[in-house]
Structure 1
């Protein structure tokens, strides 16, 4: 029988433990495929902090480093500078990369560090109790905003990819989703370009991926996808927001 679909060698055989409807598994699959297809597995160092993102250490078949909360980009910077021959990426949640680790993200972009950051945005702190995150939407109820996020007292959600486009050292910035088959294909294309930017030594690359968190949102897996499509997509700028000048300009 002809095999038409196989498991990527970029992932281990350990079954994913994530909650039903969580899209971390889809994102892991895309990264694992690219590590295999681009022949990067043996030459890669991944960095993940605490939270749900930290569990990826169990699944990727490359070398992994665990970082303190918010410090993944700083650790990745050290790894890349110590071993510039290695491909280095971070895998972070939105709370990690846009809150406690915001300074690290912005500084790495400003310095044009030759690393790739993968930013999984589900508008909430997933593992630490469902608290309001920098990306939580106005009106969104969380454990620390039980009546909904109030813009007047709690501010507005941060569209981090849009901010990063203004920093010269951020060479490639994209914001994608994984809620439909077509969106998943586009997400893989964006990740491939981000990886290639690092391979070419052009500067910092950053891919934000809109994701779901049915458990902390208090909805079913199907309802979570609908919430992403109707609530998240209108509030975050999607697409390739900045591409290398070699592709015809600094912005797409």
Structure 2
């Protein structure tokens, strides 16, 4: 199988705006599927509401489209009902962190065997460009027209602190790295989390001086640091940068494995 086999091309052209990075992430995802030769009948892609949530329209595996902020809740149920399935969860920053942040924390804490690809576009792209939980301080959005006053979540740090065994971040500019991280995450047992930085060109870019896709990609490149580069800088020097790479890669027993032991104990009594 090649990556075309994982796409529903009858649904093309893509829904997303010109210059949107979601198509880049979709390409990286399905190429990872093809590299691993995932069985489409045993793979489930779960999405929520939002621009990136439309990705399930174009993927030919089993898919489940849920409500806003609840993709991880549905995915957890699917995985626990049938642990043999490969369950992949696609969320945006609004869906996955601002609305669904509590699910994100607890799915990572429980170490449910899910692969999460969260596209962070720094605002609510589908509903008009309102600020989200990851919008950088001092940014302009539809609901912060004089400047945003809140710090944005560092989602990788959040998920790491909750206990996830695999945590990584890349961008739509660094597409080869992003694909490699997704491929690794798909092979990881337990809760694996890959954040893809893909700022919204239509809303965030327009209001923050990056009105074209090339301008946005140039800004992403100039605003990115590797983990090693970031280690040499103080807080002020790196606070507005995207730190890229693999933050956590450890082995831990996942939720289903531990729960099977509970079932065995219950049957023996």
Would you call these one fold, judging by a TM-score over 0.5?
Answer: yes
Interval containing the TM-score (normalised by the shorter chain): 0.7 to 0.9
> Which SS does the other structure have where 1:146 is aligned?
coil
> Which SS does the other structure have where 1:165 is aligned?
helix
Picking from 21, 24, 27, the partner of 1:23 is 21
Cα offset, 1:141, TM superposition: 0.4
| CA distance in 2 between partners of 1:230 and 1:33 (Å) | 27
> Which SS does the other structure have where 1:148 is aligned?
coil
| CA distance in 1 between partners of 2:62 and 2:198 (Å) | 25
Cα offset, 1:55, TM superposition: 1.2
2:7 is the counterpart of 1:11:
yes
Deviation per CA, 1:129-159, whole angstroms, max 9, x where unpaired? Answer: 1000111111110011001112xxxx20100
- Tell me the TM-score normalized by structure 2: 0.81
Cα offset, 1:241, TM superposition: 0.5
Q: How large is the RMSD of aligned CA atoms in angstroms?
A: 1.7
2:167 is the counterpart of 1:165:
no
Structure 1 runs of 4+ aligned residues shifted over 6 Å read none
| CA distance in 1 between partners of 2:184 and 2:162 (Å) | 18
| CA distance in 1 between partners of 2:4 and 2:203 (Å) | 30
- Aligned counterpart, 1:92: 91
| CA distance in 1 between partners of 2:148 and 2:75 (Å) | 33
| Greater gyration radius | 2
Q: How many equivalent residue pairs?
A: 229
Can you give the 5+ residue segments of structure 2 that lack an aligned partner in the other structure?
A: 226-239, 253-269
| CA distance in 1 between partners of 2:31 and 2:169 (Å) | 19
Can you give the 5+ residue segments of structure 1 that lack an aligned partner in the other structure?
A: 1-5, 247-252
| CA distance in 1 between partners of 2:140 and 2:221 (Å) | 17
Cα offset, 1:225, TM superposition: 1.4
Query: Is the 2:3–2:34 Cα contact (8 Å) retained in structure 1?
Result: no
- Tell me the TM-score normalized by structure 1: 0.86
